[in-house]
Amino acid sequence: MNVFKQAKIAGLAAVLAVLAGCAGQVNQGGVDGAAGVDGSVTGAASDSASAFSAAEIAEFKASAMAADTLFFFEFDKSDLKPEALDDLDAHAKFLSADRNAKVRLEGHADERGTRAYNLALGERRANAVARYLVIQGVNRTQIETISYGEERPLSLTRDESGWERNRRVELIYQ
């Protein structure tokens, strides 16, 4: 996060400098200013060209591995809960930095309702996660989705405490 913040400030300063852009001194200052945070600027600037240093990728990877891989849903719903977004952002950052990384999203449902419907529901949940990752810069080809419907419950407890654990998408690195 820190890297991006710095880049933003530096970038913004540069833009302002160009816009103001008459006096050579100001320009010079701009360059000086940029030079002051040189390393991070180049790192961030090359983001769009998707070339991260190995150290950065490792850092993204570490935070992705630390992030949650289980995302839960309400009954008969497939919209992401707000609390899932930070963890998904961490996965997205790593996946978009390392195009060789691949994930499998397994959608699941609780046992209530009919099986074929739950299979469709599980898929919608997996797709909701996939769509969010793609928007965050992940290639669709890095993601594989599958639904198991209600066939693979995590919990066998037959009340809401069990069901809420079963209504999930599991993110699995391949």
Partner 1 sequence: MRRFIATGAAVILTAASSFSQAESVDAQGLRQAQGELLLQLEQLRQETQALRGLMEELSFQLQEMSQDQKQRYLDLDERLGELVRVQRDAQTAVSTAGGAPAPVVIGGTVSTASESNAPSVSDQDAYNQAFELIRAREFDQALNAMANFIQTYPDSPLVLDARFWRGQVFDVQGQDANAIEEFRNLTQLAPDYRRILQVKVKLGKLLVKNQDLQGGRAILQEVINQAPESVEAGLAQRELEAIN
Partner 2 sequence: MRYLVWCVLAWILATPARAELVIEITRGIENPIKIAVVPFRVQAGGLLDVDVARLIESNLERSGQFMRVDRGNMLSLPGPTDQVFYRDWRAIDAEYTVVGGISRVGGQLQVTYGLHDVYGERVLFTEQIPGSEDTLRDIGHFISDRIYEALTGIKGIFSTRLLYVSAERRSEKDQTFKLILSDADGGRPRTIFQSSEPILSPAWSPDGSRVAYMSFRGKRAGIYVQTLATGEVQQVTAFPGLNSAPKFSPDGRKLVLTLSKDGNPEIYVANLRTGELDRMTNHFAIDTEASWSPDGRSILFTSSRGGKPQLYLMNVADKSVRRVTFDGDYNSNGAFTPDGESIVFVHRTNERFHIARMNINTREMRILTETDLDESPSVAPNGTMLIYATSDEERGLLGLVSMDGRVRVRLPSVSESVREPAWSPFFN
Inter-residue contact 17 to 29 (CB < 8 Å):
yes
Q: What does the block give as tokens for 98?
A: 């390392």
Q: What does the block give as tokens for 68?
A: 């949650």
Beta strands in the chain (DSSP E): 70-72, 103-108, 143-149, 168-173
Residue 85 binding partner per list partner 1, partner 2, none, with a CB distance cut-off of 5 to 8 Å that depends on partner kind = partner 1
- Tell me how far apart the alpha carbons of residues 95 and 136 are, in angstroms, rounded to a whole number: 9
Which positions lie near partner 1, rule CB under 8 A?
Answer: 4, 7-8, 10-12, 14-15, 17-18, 21, 24, 27-28, 30-31, 34, 41, 44-48, 79-80, 85, 128, 131-132, 135-137
Pick one of 81, 99, 115, 140: the residue that binds partner 2 (CB under 8 A). Answer: 115
**26 is a contact residue toward partner 2 (CB under 8 A):** no
* CA distances from residue 122 to 97, 159, 168, 172 in whole angstroms, order as listed: 28, 19, 8, 15
Number of shown-chain residues binding partner 2 (CB under 8 A): 26
Contact characters 72-101, partner 2, x per CB under 8 A? ----x-------------------------
Given the rule CB under 8 A, which residues bind partner 2?
Answer: 76, 104, 111-117, 119-121, 123-124, 127, 144-149, 151-154, 158
